Amino acid sequence: MKNLMLTSAVAALFASTVFCAQAADKKTLVFVANGASDFWKAAEAGVKKAQEELPNYNLQFKYPEQSAAAIQERLMDDLVAGGVAGIMVSAVDPKTETDALDRVASHTLLLTTDSDAPKSKRLAYIGSSNVLAGNQVGEILKKALPNGGKCMAYVGLPGADNARERIQGIKDTIKGTKIEIVDVRADDIDQARAKRNVEDTLTANPNVDCMLGIYSYNIPQIYQALKESGALGKITVTGFDDDPITLGGIKEGTIAGTVVQQPYEWGYQGMKDMAKILEGDKSFIPKDNLMIIPTKVIDKAGVDDYAAQLKKLQGKG
Amino acid sequence: MAEPFLELIGIGKAYPGVQALADVSLAVSAGEVVGLIGENGAGKSTLMKVLGGVVAPSSGVIRLDGQDRPSLTVKDAIAAGIAFVHQELNLFDNLDAAANVFIGREPRIGGPLNLIDRRKLRASVRPLLERLGCDFKPETPVIDLSIAQRQQLEIAKALSLGARVVIMDEPTSSLTISETNRLLDIIGDLKASGVAIIFISHRLNEIEQCVDRVVVLRDGRLVGALDRVAIRHDAMIRLMIGRDLKELYTPPAAPPGESVLELVALKTSAYPERSVSLSLRRGEILGLAGLIGAGRTELARALFGIDRLAGGGIVLAGQPIVIANPRDAIDRGIYLIPEDRKQSGLILEHSIASNISLPDLMSYASFALISGSREDRNATAQCKALRIKTRDVATLVGALSGGNQQKVVLAKWLSMRPRVLIFDEPTRGVDVGAKTEIYELMRALADKGVAILMISSDLEEVIGVSDRMAVMHEGAIAGILERDSFSEETIMQLAVGHSIH
Amino acid sequence: MLKKDASLLVLILVIGVVTAYLNPRFISPINLSNTANLIGLFGLYAIGAGFVIITGGIDLSVGSLFALLGVVFIDLLTRYQMNWGLAVALMVLAGMAIGAIHAFLIVKMRLQPFIVTLCGLLLYRGIARWYTDDGTAGFEFGQSFPSLEWITTGRTYGVPHSFVVFILVAIVMGIVLHGSVFGRYLCAVGKNEEAARYSGIQTGLVIAAAYVIASGLAGLSSVYFVMYTRSISPASHGNFYELYGIAAAVLGGCSLRGGEGSVFGIVLGAILLQILQNLVNLLGIPSSLNFAVMGAVILIGVLADQQFVNYRQWLRGRRDDAALARNAPPKDAGA
């Protein structure tokens, strides 16, 4: 116990010396991601854009070294100790992090993004609604399968809230139709296993009508497996996020469509909102404290525009 | 003499395919020293395991304090005061002396915390060490103790367990002369205080010196017992091997030839300040005597390329050579039969055939693929030539007796072309019969022109086998003796650093 | 075939029969083909893991090496438009170079293999993530490399080429381990390094060769994994894959104490691990139980094997006792 206290004291001391230097004149606002991935590149671009408009603030974008709750908590504690004015976080595991989030919220302004922690003392959530996004995927399904069908869903961590809400959203929308989700296969974020799950489905349930990719890499792995087995085009594929393969498949017509979030807007709007709140304006926050930035459906018609825009945001264009 | 408190009556033990013991009877009384001798594989270890409760006999009765039982458990044996001092000492060298004595029975303190009461522990060990005249303290870490001291510690442990009979298995095989004498004194003290000793040894001198009677095992049977007055070398050997043993020394067929290996002011890392100059001649057996720690093994290791030289040079047949690793030595025909054959000489879990072929594997292979039949053919021939007792060459070396293992080490080198053979303690743990065979082999090799350097701490051996002898003391050659001036006394004088006038 | 291999084969057959009975599609050609592909992918580097284990060492860095070499490989093909054959050769060489570094640290600097390769595990993943800026590396949509794909993900009459390559490598490595001078040296060094040295074997070189072979095979494997997933997120690609390799080797009879192992056993070990993953999906067992099924089946299998060995020993013991009773010398013998 003593040891732990000593360590955290030393860590705090160290962190404060690092951050004080920067925080002296400008207020610092930090976007804390839940782990490193391409997905956050767009949010980073949004934060950058907001920085241009907020010259009196010092905006930062931080990744925890690992996608682990404890490591993310330590990162936030260090930031708090360094005296940052506001944190916007995509919690790795919102349920178990409630205490840590409360601790942060008691010292500084805290918004959640991406995945919400409604039971914590965070001021507000800004981001997509996974349920609404799921509804949109459900609509794609209804359009693609007017006569109904059996769907298989693939996901990294089925117990995670974002996965559960997305699937729930789909189920809500397809209720009453003849479309059903027969099983959800998990891969623990191992892409090789994600692909093998699809291959095994083709063996075990060859008459499945559609496949849903819940995590961003799931549609690409579905696409590869179908392509190699020659089933591409025979099975409806849809799901979430905007991996280049997903967008390519949509353009090609082998993927029915995808629903994308707008992390650029989270970063941009979130930072500007935090500045507003710090300046005393809280009036724009809705009663339920959920500031939903809508997700977008990308189908064959809109895929080219979206791809171009994405390239620009990720700095690859 | 007192009534025996421990009797083995008609003990037999069979393993698959082997009758390890048959109808062996042995009685031990308080204050008696019983010598137990026999060749390796004669059944000594099995008999001791029966006493220790590790092995249950298949037939016979163990009578302990007048009570008959078919077998003992380890617990029974300990409770009855039967204690062992093993050949391979069973000590924890990460603990101190006192902790080893009371391992598993530590005095406790602190109630539920179960802490070890170190003070009490040491206090109870101190008198034991004093009784044995040990020159170390209860708090000395075992890692700092010499082999002799560790053995004394084992004896102390036995006494702390209230031992009535202490079984010593080859207790002197790693001891120097003075340490051996010290042990024999301790045995005398124990005897005087009523503790019985079963003394197992291949060293007949020691048996002669310290035991009250000798029991001889051969092929699992009791072949004889000799009383104090009847104990003589020849009598013991006759019983052990069932025939008379020849005189050890066989003179060489021809006088030694030119010098093969020349050590020029060679320095080893053990004694970097002192140097060895020595010349080894074709066809001779040069004995290298000295106390343990005199630097003989280090010299052998350096010659064979295991350790780096600290200085000096090696000349082979007139050519200065550099030996950076064992491969260099082997390629030049300099071979070593190491002191610790189980650790360094053999891979016990591998077969006889693959042990023999290991140093010269390439010549059993075509295109880097080994030909098993070529290996087997050579190994079979070697087994026959060296009279290695085994069913076939696929047998794992670990299953062989000490003497046969040593012959396998030899076979490794004899399959190649030896020019210089270095034997480091060639007959340690080898039974009498096999010893003679090994000496004969050495002589035969020397007569074929091989130069042999034999390191030995066994005076009987080094005197009996060598043509010439060098005695080492603290990293340097203290003197070189010709055969006619060999004597135990001269060797000891040189070994302890006295000069001979 | 070693006795251990035989019991592993029995375990695989029992699991196969039970699974096929519960879901006959288990033995459908397409499923066998898919599973063979994965056996190829995971078996290739397991052989290398086995070689290292036979020296008494361990290689924990494989999974991270897949991430690092994978992202570099994708970059070579896409950004630098390198000839694929050259790129594959470079991956194998890079793997061998990394193996040589491990070997240098273990043999010359006398560091523990666990520590060296654990640092490798951290280091290579870190470099991979830094190299891609934590992004995903992947091929462009529709980008194709026909010859490379034929060799890696292609199939002939349903037989995946990855599996063919794996079997070829296994045969070569089997001959190396069980028939060659080097293989004998490897077992000797693993069993008793000192005795091997006293027999003139350059033990350092032998150990080094094992690490170079292991990392070289891992380099080759990394190409196969890239072509299988066609996209790599360096933070998660290949996580824990070193354990699959080690598990396959140890299940296949490689002793962690060194000196023992057979390539056939490693092949069986790799087969068992992949069949277990396959049956979870085919039998509709919840994915969350994936690892639990793997752990439980292996444990039961090993336990059953041990019980069987004990039973045989007990039987033999009884036979011996009976033989003894028959052959016991009469009481007055030797008197």
End-to-end CA distance of chain C: 49
CB contact under 8 A, B368 and C180: yes
Pick from A217, A224, A226: nearest CA to A189: A217
Q: Which of C179, C191, C323 sits opposite B347 (nearest CB)?
A: C191
B155 & B279 share domain: no
Beta strand B311-316 with B259-267 is antiparallel
**C283: in domain:** yes
Among B75, B85, B234, B96, which residue's Cα sits nearest to residue B172?
Answer: B85
Residues contacting A262, CB < 8 A, separation 6+: A42, A128, A293, A294, A295, A296
Structure tokens at A96: 């178990």
Contacts of C328 in chain B (CB under 8 A): 12, 58-59
Say if residue B406 is in the same domain as residue B423.
no
User: How many percent of chain C have pLDDT more than 70?
Assistant: 94
Residues of A in contact with C25 (CB under 8 A): 203-204
Torsion of CA B383, B387, B389, B390, to 10 degrees: 20
- Of B141-155, B168-182, B440-454, least confident by mean pLDDT is B168-182
- Range(s) of the domain holding residue B357: 350-411
CA distance C45 to chain A (A): 15
Backbone phi, psi, residue B231, to 5°: -75, 110
Where residue C333 falls among pLDDT bands split at 50, 70, 90?
very low
Residues of chain B neighbouring C320 (CB-CB closer than 8 A): 14-16
pLDDT at C124 over 90: yes
C181 touches B at CB < 8 Å: yes
Q: Which residues of C touch A220 (CB under 8 A)?
A: 138, 230-231
- CB-CB contact of A185 with A205 (8 Å): no
What number of C-beta contacts closer than 8 Å exist between B and C? 92
- Give which of B467, B350, B325, B364 is closest to B409, Cα–Cα: B350
Does B365 contact C181 at a Cβ distance shorter than 8 Å? yes
Residue A20's pLDDT is: 46
CA pseudo-torsion sign B357, B363, B367, B373: negative
Task: Note the pLDDT of residue A317.
Answer: 43
* pLDDT, averaged across chain B: 88
Q: Is A287 exposed, middle or buried (0-12, 13-18, 19+ CB in 10 A)?
A: exposed
Amino acid at B156: A
Residue C43: closest CA among C288, C201, C264, C209: C264
Q: Is C320 in Cβ contact with B344 (below 8 Å)?
A: no
Weakest mean pLDDT among A134-148, B37-51, C116-130, C314-328: C314-328
Nearest to B51 by CA among B104, B6, B3: B6
Q: What are the domain boundaries of chain A?
A: 2-128+262-285, 130-260
* Highest mean pLDDT, choosing among B46-50, B106-110, C104-108, C329-333: C104-108
Q: What is the mean pLDDT of chain C?
A: 90
> Does residue B341 lie in a domain region?
no
> Does residue B354 form part of some domain?
yes
Beta-carbon contacts of B409 under 8 Å, excluding residues fewer than 6 positions away, are: B337, B338, B341, B345, B346
Q: Are residues B182 and B269 in the same domain?
A: no
Whether C224 is in a domain gets the answer yes
Tally A–C CB contacts below 8 A.
102
Q: For residue B365, list chain C residues with Cβ-Cβ distance below 8 A.
A: 180-181
Clarify whether residues B233 and B311 are in a common domain: no
Nearest to B37 by CA among B248, B211, B295, B244: B211
Residue C320 has pLDDT above 70, yes or no: no
Q: Residue C312 — φ and ψ, nearest 5°?
A: -65, -40
In a domain, B342, yes or no: no
Assess whether chains A and C touch, using the rule of 3 or more C-beta pairs within 8 angstroms.
yes
A295 shares contact with chain C (CB less than 8 Å): no
φ/ψ of residue A32, rounded to 5: -110, 115
Test A248 with C141 for CB contact under 8 angstroms. Answer: yes
Contacts of B215 by beta carbon, 8 Å cutoff, 6+ apart = B26, B34, B35, B36, B37, B222, B224, B225
Q: Is position B471 within any domain? A: yes
| Number of structural domains chain C divides into | 1
B245 DSSP assignment: P
C330 domain residue, yes or no: no
Q: Does C332 touch chain B (CB under 8 A)?
A: no
Facing residue for A191 by CB, picked from C25, C34, C237: C237
User: What's the pLDDT tens digit per position in C28-61?
Assistant: 999 999 999 999 999 999 999 999 999 999 999 9
Pairwise CA distance, residues B284 & B256, whole Å: 6
Dist. CA B33–CA B196, nearest whole Å = 6
- Integer Cα distance of C147 and C109 in angstroms: 42
Q: How far apart are alpha carbons C163 and C94 in whole angstroms?
A: 23
Phi, psi of B135 (to 5 degrees): -100, 25
The answer to whether the Cβ–Cβ distance between C235 and A220 falls below 8 Å is no
Cα distances from B364 to residues B353, B356, C180, in angstroms, run 11, 11, 10
Q: Which residues contact C16 (CB under 8 A, 6 or more apart)?
A: C26, C27, C275
Interface of C with A in 259-288 (CB under 8 A): 277-278, 281-282, 284, 287-288
Radius of gyration of chain B (CA): 24
Q: Which of residues 187-216 of C touch B (CB under 8 A)?
A: 187-188, 191-192, 194-202
Per residue in B315-362, pLDDT tens? 999 999 999 999 999 999 999 999 889 899 999 999 999 999 999 999
| CATH classification code of A2-128+262-285 | 3.40.50.2300
Residue located via tokens 């002011």: B265
Could you write out the DSSP letters of every residue in B117-167?
A: -HHHHHHHHHHHHHHTT-SS-TTSBGGGS-HHHHHHHHHHHHHHTT-SEEE
Residues of B in contact with C184 (CB under 8 A): 354, 358, 361, 370
CA distances from B82 to A28, B55, B76, B131, B213 (A): 79, 14, 9, 19, 19
**H/E stretch holding A258:** strand A257-260
Give the structural domain span for C30.
3-320
**CATH number corresponding to A130-260:** 3.40.50.2300
Q: Which pLDDT value is given to residue C154? A: 92
Strand order in the sheet with A257-260: A179-186, A149-155, A210-213, A236-240, A257-260, A296-298
Distance CA B21, CA B221 (A): 6
Q: C328 — contact with chain B (CB < 8 Å)? A: yes
In a domain, B345, yes or no: no
Q: Answer whether B327 touches C (CB < 8 Å).
A: yes
Neighbours of chain C (3+ CB pairs under 8 A): A, B
In this prediction, residue C323 carries a pLDDT of 59
The β-bridge relationship of strands B6-15 and B59-64 is antiparallel
Chain C closest-CA separation from residue A197 CA (Å): 7
Determine contact, residues C114/C242, Cβ cutoff 8 Å: no
Which residue on chain C is closest to A158 by alpha carbon? C288
Please give the average per-residue pLDDT across C170-195, as a whole number: 95
Give the pLDDT of residue C78.
92
Least Cα distance to A147 among A210, A213, A223, A212 occurs for A210
**Mean pLDDT along residues B397-405:** 88
pLDDT tier at B429, thresholds 50, 70, 90: confident
- Which value, to the nearest 10 degrees, does the dihedral of the CA atoms of residues C171, C172, C175, C180 take? -170
Residues 70-109 on B with a CB inside 8 Å of C are: none
Counted domains in chain B: 3
What CATH code is carried by the domain that includes residue B435? Answer: 3.40.50.300
Q: Within 10 A of A98 (CB to CB), how many other CB atoms are there?
A: 17
pLDDT of residue B103: 84
What separation in angstroms does the CA of B98 have from each of B79, B86, B130, B142, B357? 21, 18, 13, 9, 46
How confident is the model at residue A161, as a pLDDT? 81
pTM of the model: 0.80
pLDDT score at A10: 54
> Tens digit of pLDDT for each residue in A49-96?
999 999 999 999 998 887 778 888 999 999 999 889 999 999 888 888
Task: Please answer whether residues B97 and B138 qualify as being in contact, where contact means their C-beta atoms are separated by less than 8 angstroms.
Answer: yes
CATH code where residue C191 lies: 1.10.3470.10
Q: Average the pLDDT over B234-252 and give the result.
A: 75
Task: Compute the radius of gyration of chain A from its Cα atoms.
Answer: 21
pLDDT at C309: 77
Q: Which residue of B26, B331, B361 to mutate against C (max C Cβ within 10 Å)?
A: B361
Tell me, what's the pLDDT at B389? 86
CB within 8 Å: C181 and B14: no
Cα distance from A71 to chain C (closest Cα, Å)?
A: 15
Measured CA to CA, the distance from residue A90 to residue A32 in angstroms comes to 6
Distance CA A129, CA A166 (A): 9
Q: Does the CB of B405 have a partner CB in chain C at under 8 Å?
A: no
- pLDDT < 50: residue spans in chain A: 1, 17-23, 317
| 24-53 of C, contacting A, C-beta below 8 A | 25, 28, 30-31, 34, 38, 41
Report yes or no on B206 lying in a domain: yes
Distances in Å between the alpha carbon of C233 and those of A187, A262, C74? 14, 21, 12
Nearest C-alpha in C relative to A192: C229
User: Does residue B358 belong to any structural domain of this protein?
Assistant: yes
Task: Using a CB–CB cutoff of 8 Å, tell me whether A304 touches chain C.
Answer: no
Answer yes or no: do B115 and B234 share one domain.
Answer: yes
pLDDT for residue C325? 57
Residue A109 — left, alpha, or beta (φ > 0 → left; ψ -120 to 50 → alpha)?
Answer: beta
Tell me the chain A residues in contact with residue C235 when contact means C-beta distances shorter than 8 Å: 35-37, 66-67
More confident residue, A206 or C220: C220
Residue of A nearest to C153 (CA): A228
Cβ pair B386, B23 in contact under 8 A:
no
Q: Do C51 and C113 contact (CB within 8 A), yes or no?
A: no
Q: Tell me if C252 is assigned to some domain.
A: yes
Residue B249 CB-density burial (10 A; 0-12 exposed, 13-18 middle, 19+ buried): middle
Nearest to B274 by CA among B230, B311, B304: B311
Comparing C-alpha atoms, which of B282, B273, B279, B276 is closest to residue B301?
B276
- Least confident interval from A151-165, B89-103, B306-320, C74-88: B89-103
Interface of C with B in 291-310 (CB under 8 A): none
Q: Which of C2, C182, C198, C202 to mutate to test the interface with B (most CBs of B within 10 A)?
A: C198
CB-based contact (8 Å) between A159 and chain C? yes
- Count how many Cα atoms sit within 13 Å of the Cα of residue B261 in the half-sphere of its side chain: 30
In this complex, is the C-beta atom of B369 within 8 Å of any C-beta atom belonging to chain C? Answer: yes
Question: Which residues pair with residue B493 across a beta bridge?
Answer: none
Structure-token match 């994405």, residue found: A310
Is C297 inside a domain boundary?
yes
Cβ distance A204 to C25 less than 8 Å, yes or no, reads yes
C156 and chain A: CB distance < 8 Å anywhere? no
Contacts of A188 in chain C (CB under 8 A): 290
Give me the amino acid identity at C105.
Answer: L
**DSSP label of B383:** H
